[in-house]
Structure 1
Amino acid sequence: MGKWWFLAAGVFTTAMLKFAFAPPAAFVGGLPLWGAILLTIAGMMTTVGIVVVGGIPLRNRIVAWQRKRNKRRFTRRNRMIVKIWSRFGIWGIAFLTPILFSPPIGSILAVSLGAPRRAILLSMFVSACFWAVVMCLAIYWLNIDLRRLNPFS
Protein backbone atom coordinates (compact mmCIF):
# COMPACT_ATOMS: atom_id res chain seq x y z
CA MET A 1 0.00 0.00 0.00
CA GLY A 2 2.82 2.42 0.77
CA LYS A 3 4.38 2.08 -2.68
CA TRP A 4 1.09 2.86 -4.41
CA TRP A 5 0.71 6.21 -2.64
CA PHE A 6 4.23 7.28 -3.59
CA LEU A 7 3.64 6.20 -7.17
CA ALA A 8 0.29 8.01 -7.37
CA ALA A 9 1.83 11.17 -5.89
CA GLY A 10 4.69 10.94 -8.38
CA VAL A 11 2.38 10.56 -11.37
CA PHE A 12 0.17 13.41 -10.11
CA THR A 13 3.16 15.72 -9.59
CA THR A 14 4.60 14.78 -12.98
CA ALA A 15 1.28 15.61 -14.64
CA MET A 16 1.28 18.96 -12.87
CA LEU A 17 4.65 19.89 -14.31
CA LYS A 18 4.97 17.97 -17.60
CA PHE A 19 1.82 16.22 -18.76
CA ALA A 20 3.40 13.99 -21.41
CA PHE A 21 5.64 12.21 -18.88
CA ALA A 22 2.80 11.13 -16.56
CA PRO A 23 1.27 8.25 -18.59
CA PRO A 24 4.64 6.54 -19.16
CA ALA A 25 5.48 6.98 -15.47
CA ALA A 26 2.16 5.41 -14.49
CA PHE A 27 2.71 2.49 -16.84
CA VAL A 28 6.24 1.84 -15.65
CA GLY A 29 5.06 2.00 -12.06
CA GLY A 30 2.28 -0.50 -12.70
CA LEU A 31 -0.77 1.70 -12.09
CA PRO A 32 -4.01 0.52 -13.69
CA LEU A 33 -5.24 2.32 -16.81
CA TRP A 34 -8.07 4.16 -15.06
CA GLY A 35 -5.70 5.34 -12.31
CA ALA A 36 -3.23 6.68 -14.86
CA ILE A 37 -5.96 8.58 -16.71
CA LEU A 38 -7.50 10.09 -13.57
CA LEU A 39 -4.19 11.08 -11.99
CA THR A 40 -2.96 12.64 -15.22
CA ILE A 41 -6.13 14.72 -15.61
CA ALA A 42 -6.15 15.69 -11.93
CA GLY A 43 -2.51 16.78 -12.02
CA MET A 44 -2.95 19.03 -15.03
CA MET A 45 -6.18 20.54 -13.77
CA THR A 46 -4.64 21.28 -10.37
CA THR A 47 -1.94 23.35 -12.05
CA VAL A 48 -4.47 25.06 -14.31
CA GLY A 49 -6.67 25.88 -11.31
CA ILE A 50 -3.77 27.33 -9.34
CA VAL A 51 -2.64 29.48 -12.26
CA VAL A 52 -6.16 30.67 -13.12
CA VAL A 53 -6.91 31.66 -9.51
CA GLY A 54 -3.60 33.45 -9.09
CA GLY A 55 -3.40 34.48 -12.73
CA ILE A 56 -3.66 38.25 -12.67
CA PRO A 57 -0.95 38.81 -10.02
CA LEU A 58 1.19 36.23 -11.80
CA ARG A 59 0.63 37.96 -15.13
CA ASN A 60 1.65 41.32 -13.66
CA ARG A 61 4.83 39.81 -12.24
CA ILE A 62 5.77 38.22 -15.56
CA VAL A 63 5.20 41.47 -17.46
CA ALA A 64 7.30 43.39 -14.91
CA TRP A 65 10.03 40.73 -15.07
CA GLN A 66 10.14 40.86 -18.88
CA ARG A 67 10.33 44.64 -18.89
CA LYS A 68 13.12 44.54 -16.33
CA ARG A 69 15.11 42.11 -18.47
CA ASN A 70 14.40 44.02 -21.71
CA LYS A 71 13.52 40.70 -23.28
CA ARG A 72 13.16 40.64 -27.03
CA ARG A 73 9.43 40.58 -27.62
CA PHE A 74 9.15 39.11 -31.11
CA THR A 75 10.93 35.81 -30.91
CA ARG A 76 10.14 32.82 -33.09
CA ARG A 77 8.32 31.15 -30.20
CA ASN A 78 6.28 34.28 -29.44
CA ARG A 79 5.21 34.53 -33.07
CA MET A 80 4.11 30.89 -33.03
CA ILE A 81 2.04 31.49 -29.89
CA VAL A 82 0.39 34.58 -31.34
CA LYS A 83 -0.36 32.71 -34.57
CA ILE A 84 -2.02 29.86 -32.63
CA TRP A 85 -3.98 32.34 -30.52
CA SER A 86 -5.18 34.37 -33.50
CA ARG A 87 -6.27 31.30 -35.48
CA PHE A 88 -7.68 29.00 -32.80
CA GLY A 89 -8.05 31.05 -29.61
CA ILE A 90 -8.10 29.41 -26.21
CA TRP A 91 -8.95 26.01 -27.71
CA GLY A 92 -5.72 25.99 -29.71
CA ILE A 93 -3.62 26.85 -26.67
CA ALA A 94 -5.47 24.25 -24.59
CA PHE A 95 -5.12 21.55 -27.25
CA LEU A 96 -1.36 22.06 -27.51
CA THR A 97 -0.68 22.54 -23.79
CA PRO A 98 -0.27 18.84 -22.85
CA ILE A 99 1.98 17.94 -25.78
CA LEU A 100 3.83 21.11 -26.71
CA PHE A 101 3.76 23.35 -23.67
CA SER A 102 3.54 22.22 -20.07
CA PRO A 103 0.45 22.82 -17.89
CA PRO A 104 2.01 25.80 -16.08
CA ILE A 105 3.20 27.44 -19.31
CA GLY A 106 -0.05 26.80 -21.19
CA SER A 107 -2.11 28.16 -18.31
CA ILE A 108 0.06 31.24 -17.99
CA LEU A 109 -0.26 31.82 -21.74
CA ALA A 110 -4.03 31.53 -21.59
CA VAL A 111 -4.27 33.93 -18.65
CA SER A 112 -1.81 36.41 -20.12
CA LEU A 113 -3.61 36.43 -23.48
CA GLY A 114 -6.78 37.48 -21.68
CA ALA A 115 -9.01 34.43 -21.94
CA PRO A 116 -11.93 34.25 -19.48
CA ARG A 117 -11.47 31.94 -16.49
CA ARG A 118 -14.36 29.65 -17.38
CA ALA A 119 -13.11 29.25 -20.93
CA ILE A 120 -9.62 28.40 -19.69
CA LEU A 121 -10.91 25.81 -17.22
CA LEU A 122 -13.31 24.21 -19.70
CA SER A 123 -10.90 24.06 -22.62
CA MET A 124 -8.00 22.81 -20.51
CA PHE A 125 -10.24 20.13 -18.94
CA VAL A 126 -11.42 18.89 -22.33
CA SER A 127 -7.84 18.88 -23.59
CA ALA A 128 -6.57 17.06 -20.50
CA CYS A 129 -9.27 14.41 -20.81
CA PHE A 130 -8.61 13.90 -24.51
CA TRP A 131 -4.83 13.67 -24.26
CA ALA A 132 -4.86 11.57 -21.07
CA VAL A 133 -7.11 8.97 -22.69
CA VAL A 134 -5.20 8.98 -25.99
CA MET A 135 -1.75 8.77 -24.40
CA CYS A 136 -2.67 6.21 -21.74
CA LEU A 137 -4.50 3.98 -24.23
CA ALA A 138 -1.58 4.19 -26.63
CA ILE A 139 0.86 3.12 -23.95
CA TYR A 140 -1.32 0.52 -22.19
CA TRP A 141 -3.12 -1.08 -25.13
CA LEU A 142 -0.29 -1.01 -27.62
CA ASN A 143 1.84 -2.39 -24.81
CA ILE A 144 4.77 -0.14 -25.53
CA ASP A 145 7.64 -1.65 -23.58
CA LEU A 146 8.78 1.22 -21.42
CA ARG A 147 9.85 -1.01 -18.56
CA ARG A 148 13.14 -1.82 -20.24
CA LEU A 149 13.89 1.91 -20.26
CA ASN A 150 13.39 2.20 -16.49
CA PRO A 151 16.81 2.84 -14.92
CA PHE A 152 15.51 1.98 -11.42
CA SER A 153 14.45 -1.61 -12.06
Structure 2
Amino acid sequence: MTVSHTRKIPILLLGLFLAAVLLGCGNRNSGGPEASGVYAAPPDVGALQKYMARYVSLLNEGNAPELAKHLGDPNSKQDAALRIEKYGRQQWRDASFECESKGISADIYDIRITATNGTTAAPIRIDERAHWFGHEKKWHLAGLIETKADPQKPTSGIDPPSTVG
Protein backbone atom coordinates (compact mmCIF):
# COMPACT_ATOMS: atom_id res chain seq x y z
CA MET A 1 0.00 0.00 0.00
CA THR A 2 1.41 3.33 -0.98
CA VAL A 3 0.63 6.66 0.65
CA SER A 4 0.70 9.73 -1.52
CA HIS A 5 2.91 12.67 -0.61
CA THR A 6 -0.14 14.88 -0.08
CA ARG A 7 -1.37 12.55 2.70
CA LYS A 8 2.07 12.27 4.38
CA ILE A 9 2.28 16.00 5.20
CA PRO A 10 -1.01 16.22 7.19
CA ILE A 11 -0.17 12.99 9.03
CA LEU A 12 3.29 14.32 9.86
CA LEU A 13 1.84 17.65 11.04
CA LEU A 14 -0.74 15.83 13.18
CA GLY A 15 2.04 13.75 14.75
CA LEU A 16 4.12 16.85 15.52
CA PHE A 17 1.08 18.63 16.98
CA LEU A 18 0.26 15.66 19.27
CA ALA A 19 3.89 15.41 20.39
CA ALA A 20 3.95 19.13 21.25
CA VAL A 21 0.69 18.85 23.19
CA LEU A 22 1.86 15.80 25.12
CA LEU A 23 5.20 17.39 26.00
CA GLY A 24 3.53 20.61 27.15
CA CYS A 25 1.06 18.87 29.47
CA GLY A 26 3.50 17.71 32.14
CA ASN A 27 2.69 18.23 35.80
CA ARG A 28 4.84 20.18 38.27
CA ASN A 29 6.80 17.12 39.27
CA SER A 30 7.50 15.95 35.75
CA GLY A 31 10.34 18.36 35.09
CA GLY A 32 8.29 19.97 32.31
CA PRO A 33 7.93 23.71 31.78
CA GLU A 34 5.64 24.13 34.80
CA ALA A 35 8.29 22.67 37.14
CA SER A 36 10.63 25.50 36.20
CA GLY A 37 7.92 28.05 36.93
CA VAL A 38 7.25 29.00 33.32
CA TYR A 39 3.48 28.58 33.73
CA ALA A 40 3.17 29.26 37.46
CA ALA A 41 2.27 32.79 38.54
CA PRO A 42 5.22 34.18 40.51
CA PRO A 43 4.68 34.96 44.19
CA ASP A 44 3.61 38.53 44.83
CA VAL A 45 5.81 39.83 47.63
CA GLY A 46 3.81 43.05 47.85
CA ALA A 47 0.64 41.02 48.42
CA LEU A 48 2.50 39.03 51.09
CA GLN A 49 3.50 42.24 52.90
CA LYS A 50 -0.14 43.44 52.89
CA TYR A 51 -1.47 40.02 53.95
CA MET A 52 1.00 39.72 56.83
CA ALA A 53 0.50 43.35 57.95
CA ARG A 54 -3.25 42.70 58.14
CA TYR A 55 -2.54 39.45 60.03
CA VAL A 56 -0.46 41.29 62.64
CA SER A 57 -3.06 44.06 62.91
CA LEU A 58 -5.83 41.52 63.59
CA LEU A 59 -3.67 39.74 66.17
CA ASN A 60 -2.97 43.04 67.92
CA GLU A 61 -6.71 43.82 67.96
CA GLY A 62 -7.57 40.32 69.20
CA ASN A 63 -10.27 40.22 66.52
CA ALA A 64 -10.88 36.46 66.07
CA PRO A 65 -13.88 36.72 63.68
CA GLU A 66 -12.02 39.02 61.26
CA LEU A 67 -8.85 36.94 61.61
CA ALA A 68 -10.87 33.82 60.71
CA LYS A 69 -12.09 35.56 57.54
CA HIS A 70 -8.54 36.67 56.76
CA LEU A 71 -7.15 33.14 57.14
CA GLY A 72 -9.95 31.78 54.94
CA ASP A 73 -9.74 28.01 55.36
CA PRO A 74 -12.24 25.45 56.72
CA ASN A 75 -10.65 25.45 60.20
CA SER A 76 -10.26 29.23 60.35
CA LYS A 77 -12.59 29.78 63.30
CA GLN A 78 -10.67 27.42 65.60
CA ASP A 79 -7.34 28.42 64.08
CA ALA A 80 -8.03 32.13 64.63
CA ALA A 81 -8.99 31.52 68.27
CA LEU A 82 -5.77 29.55 68.81
CA ARG A 83 -3.66 32.27 67.18
CA ILE A 84 -5.32 34.98 69.31
CA GLU A 85 -4.67 32.90 72.43
CA LYS A 86 -1.04 32.26 71.44
CA TYR A 87 -0.02 35.62 69.88
CA GLY A 88 -2.92 38.04 70.26
CA ARG A 89 -3.11 41.42 71.98
CA GLN A 90 0.68 41.74 72.38
CA GLN A 91 0.76 45.03 70.44
CA TRP A 92 3.52 43.96 68.07
CA ARG A 93 5.45 46.96 66.76
CA ASP A 94 7.86 47.37 63.84
CA ALA A 95 6.84 44.04 62.33
CA SER A 96 8.84 42.83 59.36
CA PHE A 97 8.47 39.74 57.24
CA GLU A 98 11.05 37.53 55.54
CA CYS A 99 9.99 35.02 52.92
CA GLU A 100 12.08 31.99 52.00
CA SER A 101 11.36 28.96 49.84
CA LYS A 102 12.80 25.75 51.27
CA GLY A 103 12.05 23.76 48.12
CA ILE A 104 9.18 21.89 49.81
CA SER A 105 6.89 22.89 46.97
CA ALA A 106 6.94 25.56 44.31
CA ASP A 107 4.24 27.50 46.16
CA ILE A 108 5.04 26.94 49.86
CA TYR A 109 7.20 29.43 51.73
CA ASP A 110 8.53 29.83 55.23
CA ILE A 111 7.70 33.25 56.65
CA ARG A 112 9.57 34.74 59.58
CA ILE A 113 7.83 37.54 61.44
CA THR A 114 10.06 39.71 63.59
CA ALA A 115 8.62 42.44 65.77
CA THR A 116 8.83 44.05 69.19
CA ASN A 117 6.25 43.55 71.90
CA GLY A 118 4.79 47.02 72.43
CA THR A 119 4.14 46.41 76.12
CA THR A 120 7.32 44.66 77.29
CA ALA A 121 9.72 45.69 74.49
CA ALA A 122 10.66 42.00 74.18
CA PRO A 123 11.74 40.81 70.73
CA ILE A 124 9.26 38.57 68.89
CA ARG A 125 10.18 36.01 66.27
CA ILE A 126 7.45 33.80 64.84
CA ASP A 127 7.86 31.28 62.04
CA GLU A 128 4.87 30.58 59.82
CA ARG A 129 4.32 28.64 56.62
CA ALA A 130 2.46 30.31 53.78
CA HIS A 131 1.06 28.99 50.54
CA TRP A 132 0.95 31.16 47.42
CA PHE A 133 -2.18 30.46 45.37
CA GLY A 134 -0.97 31.84 42.05
CA HIS A 135 -4.25 31.20 40.24
CA GLU A 136 -6.04 33.36 42.85
CA LYS A 137 -3.06 35.67 43.38
CA LYS A 138 -3.50 35.24 47.16
CA TRP A 139 -1.44 34.15 50.15
CA HIS A 140 -2.78 31.84 52.88
CA LEU A 141 -1.14 30.79 56.12
CA ALA A 142 -0.95 27.12 56.97
CA GLY A 143 -3.23 26.29 59.89
CA LEU A 144 -1.98 25.76 63.41
CA ILE A 145 -4.68 23.16 63.98
CA GLU A 146 -3.74 19.66 62.98
CA THR A 147 -6.40 17.97 60.91
CA LYS A 148 -6.91 14.33 61.79
CA ALA A 149 -9.04 11.68 60.22
CA ASP A 150 -12.19 10.87 62.16
CA PRO A 151 -11.91 7.19 63.15
CA GLN A 152 -15.72 6.98 63.18
CA LYS A 153 -15.94 7.90 59.50
CA PRO A 154 -14.98 5.27 56.95
CA THR A 155 -12.47 6.30 54.33
CA SER A 156 -13.49 3.71 51.77
CA GLY A 157 -17.17 4.61 51.58
CA ILE A 158 -18.15 1.39 53.34
CA ASP A 159 -19.62 1.56 56.83
CA PRO A 160 -17.48 -0.12 59.47
CA PRO A 161 -18.85 -3.41 60.78
CA SER A 162 -21.11 -2.98 63.77
CA THR A 163 -20.40 -4.87 66.91
CA VAL A 164 -23.06 -6.94 68.60
CA GLY A 165 -23.04 -6.42 72.33
Q: TM-score over 0.5 for the alignment?
A: no
Q: Which has the larger radius of gyration?
A: 2
If asked which structure has higher relative contact order (CA below 8 Å, sep 6+), I would say 1
**TM-score interval, normalised by the smaller of the two chains:** under 0.3
Q: TM-score, normalised by structure 2?
A: 0.25
Higher helix proportion (structure 1 or 2): 1
Higher strand proportion (structure 1 or 2): 2
Q: TM-score, normalised by structure 1?
A: 0.26
